[in-house]
Amino acid sequence: MAIINHEAALARAGANVSGFWGQSAFLARRYPLGAVGAVIVLLFVLTAIFANVIAPHDPLSTNSRASLAQPGGSYWLGADFMGRDMFSRIVYGARISLAVAVGATLLGGILGVAIGLMSGFLGGWFDLATQRLMDIMQSLPLLVMALVMAASLGPSLENTIIAIAIPLVPSVARVVRSSTLSLREQPFVEAARAVGMGELRIAIRHVLPNTLAPLIVLGTAQLGSAILTEASLSFLGLGIPEPYPSWGRMLSESAAEYVRTAPWLVIFPGVAISLTVFGTNLLGDALRDILDPRERT
C-alpha cells in the first residue's frame, strides 16, 4: 500500500518532486502551516536527542546562590528555587515529556485501534461488553483514571506512560469502532470478501487505512493532553519522580508559589508545552491531508 509515493501525481501538479528534499519542499509550499508544525516538532525532537550537548548546565545540580536567579547571564532562562538552570531543565525535560506524550499516545492508540477494530468486526457480545467498559472508562475524567492507574503502578517513566495511555484508549476505540461499522458494509470490503480474503486482512488492508483521518486528528489532540496529564501526575508525586525534570511538573510545582515573584519559572515550561502541542496539531492537520489520496489532486 503506497502512502507517500505519489511522485507521479505530484509531478503532474508541476512540482519538483525528485527525491526526499524535492518532495518536502513541495509539501511545505502546499501546506505552510504543516511545515511550521513539522519544524517545531523536529526542533523539540532534536533537543531531546542532543540534550547533553545543548544544555549548558547539569539539570540536576543545585546552587543555593543562584536560587530564583533572573533570566540572563549564565542562566538564560533563570534558575529555580534550588538554583537549577531552567534552560537545561527544559532541554532535558524534552526527553521525558516527549517520551511520555508520544509513548502514551502510541500505546493508547494501538490498544484503542485493536479494541475498536475487533469490536466493530466481531460485534455481538464482545462488542457489547467492551463498549460498556469503554463507557465506564469515559465517565471518569482522564486525570482521575490516570491517578488511579499511576497510584497502583507506582511512579516511574514506564508506569507514567501506561497510566496515561489507558485512559486514552476509549476515545480511540470509539472512533475506530464507529468507522469500522460503516466501512465493513462497504462494497469494496464485500469485494475483498468475494475474492476470499480473510477478515483480519480485510480489517488491516481495507478498514484501518480508511479510519486514518479521524485517528490522526485525535492522536495529535491526545498528545497535548498526555503532556498536561503527566504534569498533573508529577505534581501530585505520582508521575516522573523527583529530581528528573518534566515540563509538566516544573510548571505545576512553581505555579502557585512563584508566579508573582519569579514568573519565568512558570512561563518557560508553559511555552515549551504550548509550542509542542501547537506544533503537533499543525503537523497532524497537514498529515491528515497529505495521507488522503482524495486531497492530493
CB of 235 to another protein, least distance (A): 42
Among 4, 9, 13, 46, the residue binding another protein under the rule CB under 8 A is 9
Residues 188-227 that bind another protein (CB under 8 A): 188, 190-198, 201, 206, 209-210, 212
106, 88 contact by CB (below 8 A)? no
Q: Which is nearer to another protein, 141 or 198 (CB)?
A: 198
How far from 45 is each of 48, 57, 98, 244, 276, CA to CA, in Å? Answer: 5, 19, 8, 18, 10
Is residue 297 a contact point for another protein (CB under 8 A)?
yes
Is residue 293 a contact point for another protein (CB under 8 A)?
yes
Cell of 23: 518532495
Cα distance between residue 78 and residue 56, in whole Å = 12
Return all residues near 10 (Cβ < 8 A) that are at least 6 apart: 17, 23, 26, 296
Q: Which is nearer to another protein, 3 or 49 (CB)?
A: 3
Say how many Å lie between the first and final Cα of the chain, rounded.
19
Among 18, 52, 152, 186, the residue binding another protein under the rule CB under 8 A is 186
Q: Which is nearer to another protein, 98 or 189 (CB)?
A: 189
Is residue 1 a contact point for another protein (CB under 8 A)?
yes
CB of 195 to another protein, least distance (A): 4
Q: Which stretch binds another protein (CB under 8 A): 25-33, 136-144, 168-176, 180-188?
A: 180-188
CB of 194 to another protein, least distance (A): 5
Q: Which is nearer to another protein, 140 or 212 (CB)?
A: 212
Is residue 123 a contact point for another protein (CB under 8 A)?
no
Cα distance between residue 231 and residue 263, in whole Å = 18
Q: Which is nearer to another protein, 177 or 206 (CB)?
A: 206
Is residue 14 a contact point for another protein (CB under 8 A)?
no
Return all residues near 274 (Cβ < 8 A) that are at least 6 apart: none
Residue 72 backbone dihedrals phi, psi, to 5 degrees: 120, 175
Return all residues near 279 (Cβ < 8 A) that are at least 6 apart: 36, 37, 38, 39, 40, 41, 43, 44
Q: How many residues bind another protein (CB under 8 A)?
A: 26
Cell of 143: 486525570
Q: Which is nearer to another protein, 9 or 49 (CB)?
A: 9
Cα distance between residue 121 and residue 273, in whole Å = 38
Chain residues binding another protein by CB under 8 A are: 1-2, 8-9, 186-188, 190-198, 201, 206, 209-210, 212, 292-294, 296-297
